[in-house]
Each structure stands twice: as structure tokens, then as C-alpha cells.
Chains A and B, each alone.
Chain A
């Protein structure tokens, strides 16, 4: 338990430092870390503080958010296939973000973009939960998710194709795949408040989720308000996923892979899985972002490509398991 916490936090820290020292500009490890802390008035500090630091911070924040949201959703729905990307929450957040950018709402005030994405994500979670029902089977959940994802994706493409800006259409890829390239500290400050708020909300669900493993009646008997849990889940997930998607696009599979990998180590207790998945998600996204920069530095490979390459086979494996168990 504490060993796992120690291990995961060391991993995140190590990857965070690696993310800071890996990059297309040729700067030594010692030099780059020194430039980060001591302002040399030159380009090196600029690169470290304005290019690499925000990128690494965002990877931690967004990866953590997605891992946490995935674990919370899977705990609440008691369904290992739930993932904010897969069930269309990220997609609807991306649609709302695109609308905010195209209508100029995003430019009108600082938090216009993340708040719109939050609204989009809220609608997404809400629709999926309504369509799939409170104890929805895997099948209805995934079907509802696919429908919402496809719809949101189609509208996103439509809006970007109609834009008078010739670059907008190319951005369909960004919104569907996600990327952390060329982000600045502004993006960090814009996303941070909602991510912290959402993460705190999801963290309060820990006890409720543990109780829910005994069944809903037992949970109610223990004094857990199911309505409140449900609302916390909806708002918490929408806040973290909305803010993440607003700055980095829809990055899939993190919320699916991480809880699945960590579940055996936490004794299947959803409360422990929550924080473990937050750490795990941060580590996964940091690693993916390092991979993106190390493999094809000049090609702006999208993050979602890497996470999907890891996540999709696992998803197929999960479906296979589900079928075999006859659920």
C-alpha cells in the first residue's frame, strides 16, 4: 500500500524530470535543470520555463485527471470498460471547446474555453448516464458512448470545416487525438482551477465507492447518498475532463488502461484505486509525451496515437474477457 504510493510517486517524479530534459533542442541535462532554476537571461531559461515546464506540468495534470476520472467512473458503474474518452465525454468537451474558439467566446475571457468544455463534458456524461441507465450493462454503456462520441466528432468536424480560417480543418486531428506540443504557462493556469476542483470532488467519492462494491442497498444502509455520489461523479468528471480536453484535445484510453493495470495492486478497493490511478495516469501521459518527442521530434505526432496504440489492444482484451465471463 505505502510501497505502491512510494513507487508510483517516484515513477512520476523520474518521468517528470525526464520530460524536462528531453527535447528537440540540444541542451545538456545539468545545463537544462540549472537554466530552469537560475534565470540566465538567455534562450535556455526561456526554453525550459516557457516550453518544457508547461508541457511536463500539463502531462501530469491531464494524465492524473484522466486516470482519476477513469477509476471513479469504473468504480461507480462497476464496469471496467468505462473511460471518459471511450464513452464520449472527451468528445463532447472537445466539441464545446471548438465552438467556444470559433464563436470567439474563448477569446472574450480567460476561462471561457475551459468552462465551455466543462459544459460540453457535463452534457456528455449526463447523456451517457441517462442512456445507459444507473446500472447499465457494459453493452448499453459502450453503445451509448460510441453514439455520443460519433455525434460529437461529426459536429466537431463540421464546425471546423465551416470555419473561414483555412487552418481550422486541419485541427480536427488535434481535437480527436490530443497533443501537448507548444503549450505555454497560460494553458496551465487556465486548466488548473477546474482540474483541482474536479479532482477534489472525485476524491470525496472514495468512501462511497468502497461501500458501493457491496451493492447499492448495502451502501444506502451505510448512510451513503447515492444521488449525491452520482452528482459528484458527473460534475467531478466533467470538470477534470473538460479542462484537460480544452487545452490538450481528447486523449483516449488513459482512463481505461491505468485503473485496469493498477487494480490488482490495490486489492480491488476503489478508494485506493482512485489515487493510484491519478499517479498512474500522470506517469502514463508523461511517458507517452516523452515517446512522442523521442520517436518523431519534427513530426508533431499526436499523443492520442501513442495512448491508443497501448490502450486499444487492452480494450479488445477486456471485451474478450467480458464475453468469456458471459456478462
Chain B
């Protein structure tokens, strides 16, 4: 039995699509009031896990408890207290955003405060009178965000919430999630954006091939992340010397003037080593989340 502080608990959650096993016993525990980032490459099982939490798909094995309720036993009770935004957002385009919100609010028996809906729309710079079919991808995403947050849910589940939004609007959305968390809500979200996860998540769960490979705080994971740097030197240098620095791998070098390195973990030792060299240009390149973290989990000996 989960403690009353647990917002989401899955134990040995399994799911098959025909003969294909999508989830191989997912174990997750999300505490009430925390922001939990859920990461993984495409096809890892993020969306399948999320859809099991809402009983949109039926699990084939294991236990799921959301806000103290088994969603398979009482899905309506769970959904009443949850705000959900799917990763692949599709809206009824024949409606205006306002008509859609009113319909969803009726489905929630008027749980949303309409002044709050307008306030959310204003913060997201969304015109709710416009037909959804005339909205850009980013604005449709905003509609998805408002509908998920408009009833001030206890638990917010979002699959890639900032996808398609401009950087400024991404910050607004992250700010909203932080505010909701501060007011007592739990946030469970998936993302591909490293900075986003680092900036707001208290803990991060990584799923790969339908299994949770690690749950940790973002700083711990950050230390394992990979970075790539491209350094141009005023004079030729020996790249192999740089490769001796802890965590550094030489990827390529061009006549000793241009060196391409990969750094695992902290950048500090490399910076100190470069201080003694004639550097003319230094360029960092942050790999995608998959490259950065999942390369780590690809190597069994590092687990």
C-alpha cells in the first residue's frame, strides 16, 4: 500500500501491444508536491507509462496507484484530480479554444474557475476566441496546456509540454509548473530538453526499452552528461595530451589547430588544462538528451 505522500506508484508495470512488450516491469514512485522529469528516447515507453496511469490503455501486469486510487478500478476518480496533456496533441478543430475549454469544463462538472482560465490564456498570450483550426502549432500547444491546468489539478501529467513553443513561452510554462508545484500540485512531465529538466525537476526518472534505468536528482545526472567541444588553437597542439585529462575523449584533430573532444561529467579539468594552451576559439556543443544520458546507459559496465 503506498504512503499518503505518494502521488504516483507503479510496481512491475507491464504492457504488451500484441506480441510486442512495451513495458518490462516499470517501477516508479513520485512523491506528492514534487516535480518529476520523465526522460527517455522515442519508443522507450514514456507515453505508454503515462497512458497506463490514466487507464487510457489497460496494463497487462503490475500495480498502479495514482493519488491513492488504482486507475483501472476507478479511472474517473483519478482523471478528476489529474490534468493531462498528451505528447501528440490533437484537438477538435471545429471549435474555438474557448468552446473546447467550456466543453472540457462541463466534463469536469464545472471544476474550473473561468477567471483562472482567462488568466492562464493571458499569461500564455493565447486568443481563446479564435477557431483552433486557425491556430499555429505553438498556439495549439498552449490550448493543450490551458486545458490541463485550468482546474488546478492535484497532479499534472504532461508529455513534452513545451514542444513547439518559443524559448520565451517555454519559460512561462515552466514558471507555471513551478507555481503549481509551490501551491501543492505534483508535476510529472516528460521532456527531451535537458535545460528544462535541470531547471525545474526535483528528480528525474530515465526509461529505456520499457525499463526504468535510474531515478536520480538532475545534478547527479548532469555530472554524467556528455558535452562536445571544438577548440581552435593559435599553434598546433597534441590532441592526445588533452585526451589524458579526466573524462575527455579525443574525437578528431585537424593538423593540431582544430581539436574535437567529448567530455563526460565536469568541464573544469579540461578548462584548467586549456589555460596553459594558446586557444583562439572554444565552442561547446550540447548533445541531445538521448546522446548525453543514454550513451551512458548503453554501456553496461558503467551501470
Genuine A/B complex: no
* Chain A residues within 8 Å of B, Cβ to Cβ: none
